[in-house]
């Protein structure tokens, strides 16, 4: 479209952006407040004290470390399964193709609580102990679609003639994969992987069901929301969480500035 | 689960074998682990709980599902959640539309900046954003302060005295909960609408103007109908996410339970897994119906 945004539209967009961002700025402000009992606004004074208190909390570091490990492993699994699914879908037609694509979408289309309780039922039935392994299994389930969406979109844009040319020139399938397909897919895989990392790192609803007594960072934060030991510490950790999830996203944005990054990155819980 | 693979070109040839090999791991994972779990959950919905021993009775019965609709408090939970999901979806669509349209009109660098502006909050952690609203809605919090400065406290009091929506404070009212839901899911609505708007051919808008339509007419008769797949796609997220959320109603809001909270408490503290299972089938059915409807509106092409 060539038309320019009207003043009214511009104003509405800016108001919308303010609505989206002011709460985040407040979080940052409250991490420095010297008032630790209430949410008084404006804060009576500012201090750096809470950063020290937060960094000294070993339970916070344990939770952060668990979240990082879980997110890495869930992302690896999702990368494998998601790209296999994408490769299968990009091949010629097979019966049940529509049903399969619905099946991939289902874990993000259904509310997290359904996925969570369903997985918990199975975990109990099979006799597994809820813990790190089951958190990873749960996260991988809904991360598959993120990788899948990114890779499938990329595969659609690769012309089959390139693959054919490669094999016509005598490349074995593995060579074609290594030298033609993989370079094309690299940024899509990276984007899908980073999104899945952020998704897993932030997930709380499915995790509450599959975690047993383990605490990922969001679970830890959830606990702090109701029984805070030092209220402003939650804000400090909130900033930390924002940084950990935002950096990969901004990186993804840079990597694929074609505007087609983040396919179906949507879903939080 | 059987895997009927027929490749159109060479039936049972190498192509089919490769497709099968590629398909098998994700299909096994999603089909066995995920779908199997969903079916296992469904099965629990057909069990019941013994009132005296509090043990699950593994005998087929419709009673648990029936109690969703025959027990007024259960029905209330379902209706309350549905109404909230619809309200949140509508509000998100209305607020998202101008932002999406604005971003779709931009080009170059400013567009890139706005795309980041819109997506950033989405990735700034769900819990953090919910928590931010606790700060804002608290009685001594930001919103009361701003309204007091603007001499609008009476407006807040009027809103809080509304029969169902209001409450003792914003952080313990449906109005507050509604605000938080809209805030948290808004980006999920902006992105698909923006994607749909970007696919509206400029020539159509020009043609409409050339044929003498005023800007509003062009918007209403051309741009808006073409954006509907995006709205439908966005609404899948806002609707489904509201339907199952149990954290926002727990952190902010009135005492009445939502479906997500019901599922959570029934499987946990109440120890009534059959009722939890029956409750969780409600969002499954609604989302399935919704997906079917959205598919008709072309939502899947806009995702």
**A138-185 pLDDT per residue, tens:** 999 999 998 998 898 888 888 778 888 888 888 887 888 888 888 888
A/B interface, count of CB pairs below 8 Å:
297
In order, the DSSP letters of A223-246 are HHHHS-SSHHHHHHHHHHHHHHHH
Q: What pLDDT does A152 receive? A: 87
Q: What is the CATH number of domain A57-256?
A: 1.10.3720.10
- Three-state DSSP at A33 gives strand
Closest alpha carbon to B100 in A255, A258, A1, A150: A1
Distance (Å) from the alpha carbon of A236 to chain B's nearest alpha carbon: 10
With CB atoms and an 8 Å threshold, state whether B22 touches A234: no
Distance (Å) from the alpha carbon of A192 to chain B's nearest alpha carbon: 14
Pairing of strands B56-57, B48-49: antiparallel
Sign of the dihedral through C-alpha B44, B47, B48, B52: negative
DSSP label at B3? -
Closest alpha carbon to B191 in A261, A150, A5, A243: A261
Task: Find tokens 């805030």 and name the residue.
Answer: B183
With CB atoms and an 8 Å threshold, state whether A103 touches B23: no
How many residues make up chain A in this entry?
269
Give chain A's residues under pLDDT 70. 1-3, 92, 228, 253, 255-269
With CB atoms and an 8 Å threshold, state whether B37 touches A119: yes
Interaxial angle between packed helices B273-296 and B224-244, expressed in degrees from 0 to 180 and rounded to the nearest 10:
170
How far apart are alpha carbons B293 and B87 in whole angstroms? 18
Q: Are A182 and A121 in contact (CB under 8 A)?
A: no
Distance (Å) from the alpha carbon of A13 to chain B's nearest alpha carbon: 4
With CB atoms and an 8 Å threshold, state whether B126 touches A41: no
How far apart are alpha carbons B161 and A251 in whole angstroms? 47
**Residues of A whose CB is below 8 A from B200:** 1
Q: How many helices (H) and strands (E) does chain B have?
A: 16, 2
Q: Are A206 and A222 in contact (CB under 8 A)?
A: no
Q: Which helix (H) or strand (E) holds A135?
A: helix A132-157
Average pLDDT, chain A: 83
Distance (Å) from the alpha carbon of B124 to chain A's nearest alpha carbon: 5
Cis status, amide bond into A42, omega within 30 of 0: yes
**Residues of A whose CB is below 8 A from B280:** 113-114, 117-118
CB neighbourhood size of B140 (10 A): 12
Residues ≥6 apart with Cβ < 8 Å to B295: none
Buried b (16+ CB within 10 A) or exposed e, A91-117: beebebbeebbebbbbbbbbbbbbbbb
Nearest to B5 among A80, A94, A125 (CB): A94
With CB atoms and an 8 Å threshold, state whether B184 touches A269: no
Strands (E), chain A: none
Nearest to B141 among A39, A117, A144 (CB): A39
Q: Which two tokens stand for residue B284?
A: 């499954």
Q: What residue segments make up the domains of chain A, in order of their start?
A: 57-256
With CB atoms and an 8 Å threshold, state whether A266 touches B34: no
Q: What pLDDT does B2 receive? A: 45
Q: What pLDDT does B6 receive? A: 43
Q: What pLDDT does B303 receive? A: 53
Q: Which two tokens stand for residue A209?
A: 């069901």
CB neighbourhood size of B35 (10 A): 16
Find residue B48's DSSP bridge partners.
Answer: B57
Q: What pLDDT does A268 receive? A: 38
Convert the pLDDT of each residue in B244-258 to its tens digit. 898 999 888 788 899
With CB atoms and an 8 Å threshold, state whether B5 touches A95: yes
User: pLDDT tens, position by position, for chain B (303 residues)?
Assistant: 444 444 444 444 677 888 888 888 999 999 998 999 999 999 989 988 887 777 888 888 888 898 889 989 999 999 999 999 999 999 999 999 999 999 998 888 888 888 888 888 877 778 888 888 888 888 788 888 888 888 888 888 888 888 777 777 888 889 999 999 999 999 999 989 998 898 888 888 888 888 988 888 888 888 888 888 889 889 988 998 999 898 999 888 788 899 999 999 988 887 888 999 999 999 999 988 888 888 787 766 655
Distance (Å) from the alpha carbon of A1 to chain B's nearest alpha carbon: 4
Distance (Å) from the alpha carbon of A109 to chain B's nearest alpha carbon: 7
Q: Which two tokens stand for residue B273?
A: 């897994």
- Three-state DSSP at B49 gives strand
Q: Are A175 and A61 in contact (CB under 8 A)?
A: no
**Residues of A whose CB is below 8 A from B184:** 268
**Residues of B whose CB is below 8 A from A110:** 240, 244, 283-284, 287
With CB atoms and an 8 Å threshold, state whether A30 touches B245: no
């Amino acid at each position: 479209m060539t038309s320019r945004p009207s003043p009214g539209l511009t104003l509405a967009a800016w108001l919308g952006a303010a609505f989206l961002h002011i709460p985040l700025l407040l979080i940052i402000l409250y991490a420095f407040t010297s008032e630790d009992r209430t949410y008084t606004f404006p804060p009576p004074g500012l201090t750096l004290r809470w950063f020290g208190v937060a960094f000294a909390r070993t339970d916070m570091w344990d939770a952060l470390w668990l979240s990082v490990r879980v997110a890495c492993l869930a992302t690896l699994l999702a990368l494998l399964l998601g790209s296999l699914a994408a490769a299968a879908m990009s091949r010629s037609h097979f019966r049940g193709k529509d049903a399969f694509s619905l099946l991939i979408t289902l874990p993000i289309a259904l509310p997290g609580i359904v996925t969570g309780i369903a997985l918990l039922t199975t975990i109990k039935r099979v006799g597994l102990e809820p813990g790190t392994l089951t958190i990873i299994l749960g996260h991988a389930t809904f991360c598959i679609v993120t990788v899948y969406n990114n890779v499938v979109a990329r595969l659609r844009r690769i012309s089959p003639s390139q693959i054919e040319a490669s094999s016509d020139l005598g490349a074995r399938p593995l060579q074609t994969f290594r030298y033609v397909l993989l370079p094309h897919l690299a940024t899509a895989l990276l984007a899908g992987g980073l999104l899945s990392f952020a998704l897993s790192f932030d997930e709380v609803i499915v995790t509450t069901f599959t975690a047993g007594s383990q605490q990922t960072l969001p679970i830890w934060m959830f606990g702090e929301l109701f029984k805070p030991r030092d209220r402003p510490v939650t804000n400090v950790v909130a900033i930390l969480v924002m940084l950990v999830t935002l950096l990969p996203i901004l990186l993804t944005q840079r990597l694929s500035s074609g505007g087609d990054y983040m396919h179906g990155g949507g879903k939080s819980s | 689960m059987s895997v009927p693979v027929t490749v159109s070109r060479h039936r049972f040839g190498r192509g089919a074998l490769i497709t099968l090999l590629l398909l098998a791991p994700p299909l096994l994972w999603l089909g066995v682990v995920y779908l199997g779990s969903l079916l296992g959950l469904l099965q629990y919905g057909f069990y019941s709980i013994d009132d005296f021993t509090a043990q699950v009775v593994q005998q087929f019965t419709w009673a648990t599902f029936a109690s969703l609709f025959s027990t007024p408090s259960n029905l209330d939970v379902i209706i309350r959640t549905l109404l909230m999901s619809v309200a949140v979806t509508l509000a998100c669509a209305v607020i998202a539309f101008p932002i999406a349209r604005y971003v779709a009109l931009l080009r170059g660098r400013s567009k890139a900046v706005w795309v980041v502006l819109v997506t950033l909050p989405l990735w700034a952690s769900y819990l953090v954003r919910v928590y931010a609203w606790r700060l804002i809605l608290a009685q001594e919090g930001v919103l009361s302060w701003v309204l007091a400065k603007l001499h609008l406290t009476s407006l807040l009091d009027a809103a809080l005295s509304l029969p169902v929506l209001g409450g003792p404070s914003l952080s313990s009212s449906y109005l507050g909960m509604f605000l938080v839901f809209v805030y948290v899911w808004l980006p999920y609505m902006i992105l698909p609408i923006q994607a749909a708007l970007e696919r509206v051919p400029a020539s159509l808008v020009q043609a409409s103007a050339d044929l003498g339509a005023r800007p509003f007419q062009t918007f209403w008769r051309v741009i808006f109908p073409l954006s509907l797949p995006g709205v439908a796609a966005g609404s899948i997220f806002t609707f489904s996410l509201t339907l199952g959320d149990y954290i926002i109603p727990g952190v902010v809001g009135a005492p009445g339970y939502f479906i997500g909270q019901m599922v959570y408490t029934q499987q946990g503290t109440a120890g009534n897994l059959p009722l939890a299972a029956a409750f969780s089938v409600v969002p499954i059915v609604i989302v399935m119906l919704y997906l079917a409807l959205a598919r008709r509106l072309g939502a899947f092409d806009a995702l």
